[in-house]
Amino acid sequence: MAARFDERVVAVLMSLRPGQVVTYGEVAEEAGFPGAARAVGNLLARRDGLPWWRVVAASGRLVSGHPAEQARRLRAEGVPVRDGRIVWASRPPRRRTGGSRRRGAVP
DNA sequence: CCCCTGACTGTCG
DNA sequence: CCGACAGCCAGGG
């Protein structure tokens, strides 16, 4: 599924339009690999020629690589950015992923 | 098959 | 808000 994964992810990224921002988890889920947000980030880091600036963290935080560059590009596309965070035009940051950690219980 | 890494995510303190 | 812990996933050695 090696090629499958990156192919799917690339397809999802290509389907994005200017000004559209998604999270790693969304891309992974859309690609058919829920929970693979990490792998998505890794792919974006290794592959180039992809709209990496349209992908942000679930918390709205920009990438750790070049936040200034990403913010600049997003602003150029009409996406408001506030202090290193993206202002969701209309998107509930409600995503369930990763956080499968059990709460205050202890065995 | 085992172990480690990473542009992730959510909860607890 | 921030740091530590804990899961999950794909890839590479």
Position A96 scores a pLDDT of 56
Report, as ranges of residue numbers, the positions in chain A whose pLDDT lies below 70.
Answer: 1, 90, 92-107
> Residues 6 or more apart from A37 whose CB is under 8 A from it?
A23, A24, A25, A27, A28, A58, A97, A98
E-strand ranges in chain A read 22-23, 55-56, 81-82, 85-86
d(C-alpha A63, C-alpha A80), whole Å: 16
Give the nucleotide nearest to A104 (CA→C1'). Answer: B12
Position A90 scores a pLDDT of 67
Residue A22: name the closest of A5, A14, A98 by CA. Answer: A14
- Quick one: how far is CA A9 from the chain centroid? 11
CA of A43 to C1' of B6 (A): 10
CA of A68 to C1' of B9 (A): 23
Position A92 scores a pLDDT of 60
User: Does at least one atom of strand B sit less than 7 Å from the CB of A35?
Assistant: no
